[in-house]
Structure 1
């Protein structure tokens, strides 16, 4: 094995190790009901690997802040900063390989999901030269990658799910290794859970969760009852970084502890019933004044916290600025328009491009542009959406004189209708039959015949096209502004 850490003991009392190098390449999924010991397991993993790899912890409950007392982690209290500042910190973290804890405890669920999405996306979008290995631990992952819609707005859920999907599906090439923990597999999005190759399954009682856990561990259904009988702090482990066969592990002790509460019994107060009654029902006017709450520490300014994340020595600043300026000058010498056309052609050649959301495609576009030695993406998200709509209609270079009058004719349509209109225009220019409903629907992003009919009706009402049908039911489409007509289809 490579850089192995001791995670606990098996049933015979022998140590069980986790190969951190293998874990970075294959990711980890931890599952167990509340009280099964998931947070303890994650804390053991973080403590043992603290000196081996950069760690980034998404902490929705404030459980892991005590790691900063014993190790070099920096705690970021998310409630003190806005979304832009959080993204700047995430970029700085990747650049300087700082281990951090993003504490989301003070935020409501919707704000937690928004903040985590901004943080993870900024880490994911870091420049290629900052793709250092990092272990990204996400506790209560079902909150950030839910399997079904919940009480939060759909755009927030989609953004959070997209960020978690990027972490687990595409993060490995960028050095990001997800280690996620969830109370229930049924609550976690399947495409997020499926990307993990290492599993630590704790106690669970629901049949659906036991069945899924048994499937992931390669156990027969009749053996799934074993998962129900696990003690607190015991997990079944499997994966290339742990063991090639399922192994029972009792997680070892930790050096730090959570501040959030205790699971042990405390002695009851020694007071007579009359004294307790007097205290509970005492006249508020005669009751002693309550102690004032402890003052909350003043939040650290965003710029100050960002600068504290491994700032470069002052002597190195001129060299850094010179290197950046040199990189920007080199990027300016590259024909960005040619890169855009080339990247869009490559993306449209992939079958998956038709079904992926624009936000994911834009991230892919940004990475491909950086691989072409551009310092930053040459288009913002809105500009990319416009060029993507044209590319789906077969127009990669809108400055081409052939397409200028066609795009002028399309200007009266919404952006999402550009692609089907351009298919019709191309067919008219080539003297080909009108594209059928399936082709128009694929360009428009739908398979509904009703939506395709409404699409054609809308274009005709706007005066952009004229639809004709002969007695045989064959359709041809004219474009009055261009003086062109497709063949009959």
Structure 2
């Protein structure tokens, strides 16, 4: 099979080819300022080699996802996956030799860097039997291999430099051919740039970048001005996979296109200044009010004094929860129905959204009061039993199948009473197949207004092995209850 692809033509109109087999062994560095045609060059290279070699594209701006429409690339949304899933996907990419685009546009810069670092490291760490040849294209490489830490943390810089260095320095023996593209050579880590033996240099204006590009191309410094005069879509190429002497290349056309941009001029609106001002300021106060309301935290529940507790008991005596609709006193409960009466009272108390915020002692006294009024005192539990029954009532497990409900209760049997209700609520959501409870619902059943306490609760349940908390790069959270799927399938 011919391993040569045509990426464009030289100044005489002759085709300029790249030897893919040589490129796999010697790697490629592409440099050019914004607007020089750097992404167009990468797209041409990817399109021409799509049917010949596996391709992995790290795409921070979503420019290359259109390859999926024309060449069958699989798009992996970095924002939708956790670290463990990103690493598992990378391992499967190597195993099944799939061409993929890792789309990172949904993440902020530091998350993009960490996501790509984990992905590239997992590609590098694949088992030896999966070391098939693959092109690994990293656009905007100065982000992923920065010369200095800049605004990212030192830990993030360390892991991404390790990943990019492994790709460019040691990747060849594992079948990985790094192709890095950057706007600024001066911002790219030197140990990453130095590993490339092939170069395609586009238009650049800063003296420090021009001089570095000229040095890499083996040109005299007085010839560096030539790089500044290059037109869009034209590059100077050099390397064993391209040509032995610096040669001008005009990149050829492509089939797929980048996402739409607004670089072309468009007519401005003709609305008068007064109308435009009205459009900009319309309902602005309402927007500010809604934002303030969203940020306004719910106040913590007030502490109950002895006088307030006495008043609450008196109020329940005058208006019991379990009264009939016509206000008549309830009839005596038969002995066999006493347990059902207790459950009804417990369920009615748990329906109060502020119930979990009250002290257990106050709740228990109120509960006993209702039981006496319903003449169900014979079935009342002690304080410890009440706390567990009330936690179960808060979680609303009644709608589950009996065997599922029993399994969930057995899973939570070792938990303290104060954290039982949140766990049962998480398990109920998982069993019903609905979205996991948000922080507001967990806080309600946990009886707290502190996000920190809710976060520590989840960490505690995860340490106990009862749940798995999965955070994705987009900030989303998934709560998984191990072992529950097997019970649901019975």
Same fold (TM over 0.5): yes
Q: 1:170 to 1:276 in 2, by over 3 A?
A: same
Q: Which residue of 2 aligns with 1:128?
A: 128
Distance 1:23 1:80 in 2: 33
- In the other structure, the counterpart of 1:184 is 184
Q: Is the 8 A contact 1:62 1:260 kept in 2?
A: no
Q: Secondary structure at the match of 1:63?
A: coil
Distance 2:286 2:110 in 1: 42
Q: Could you tell me which residue of structure 1 aligns to residue 244 of structure 2?
A: 244
- Aligned equivalents of 1:172, 1:213: Cα separation in 2: 24
> What is aligned with 1:205?
205
Residue segments in structure 1 that go unaligned for 5+ positions in a row: 288-489
Equivalent residue for 2:155?
155
**Structure-2 change in CA distance of 1:124 and 1:282 (3 Å):** closer
Distance 1:273 1:150, change over 3 A: closer
Compared with structure 1, are the counterparts of its residues 44 and 3 closer, same or farther at alpha carbon in structure 2 (3 Å cutoff)? Answer: same
Q: For the residues of structure 2 that align with 1:111 and 1:254, how far apart are their CA atoms?
A: 31
Gap change, CA 1:148 and 1:70, over 3 Å in 2: same
In the TM superposition, what whole-angstrom CA distance separates every residue of 1:122-145 from its partner, at most 9, and x where no partner exists?
110111110000000000101111
CA apart distance, 1:10: 1.1
- The SS at the match of 2:29 is strand
CA RMSD of aligned residues (A): 1.9
Q: Please state how far the C-alpha of 1:113 moved relative to its aligned partner.
A: 1.4
- Cα contact 1:147–1:190 (8 A) shared by 2: yes
Deviation (angstroms), 1:151: 1.6
Give the C-alpha shift of residue 68 in structure 1. Answer: 0.7
Residue 266 of structure 1 and its aligned partner are, at CA, apart by 2.3
For residues 284 and 192 of structure 2, what CA distance do their matches in structure 1 show? 54
Q: Would the alpha carbon gap of residues 146 and 286 (structure 1) be closer, same or farther in structure 2, given more than 3 Å must change? A: closer
Give 1:307-346 correspondences, 5 Å limit: none
How big is the shift at 1:277? 4.9
How much has 1:260 moved relative to structure 2?
A: 4.8
Q: How far 1:280 moved relative to its partner?
A: 3.9
CA offset at residue 107 of structure 1?
1.1
- Check 1:276–1:55 CA distance in 2 against 1; reply closer, same or farther (3 A cut): same
Q: Distance in 1 between matches of 2:59 and 2:286?
A: 43
Distance 1:101 1:286, change over 3 A: closer
Partner of 1:169: 169
- Looking at structure 1, the residues matched to 246 and 78 of structure 2 have their Cα atoms a distance apart, in angstroms, of 38
TM-score (norm 2): 0.56
Superposition deviation, residue 279 in structure 1:
3.6
Q: Give yes or no for the alignment of 1:93 onto 2:93.
A: yes
Deviation at 1:155, TM superposition (A): 1.5
Alignment of 1:399-438 (within 5 A): none
SS of 2:90 mapped into structure 1: helix
SS at match of 2:12: coil
Which residue is 1:118 aligned to?
Answer: 118
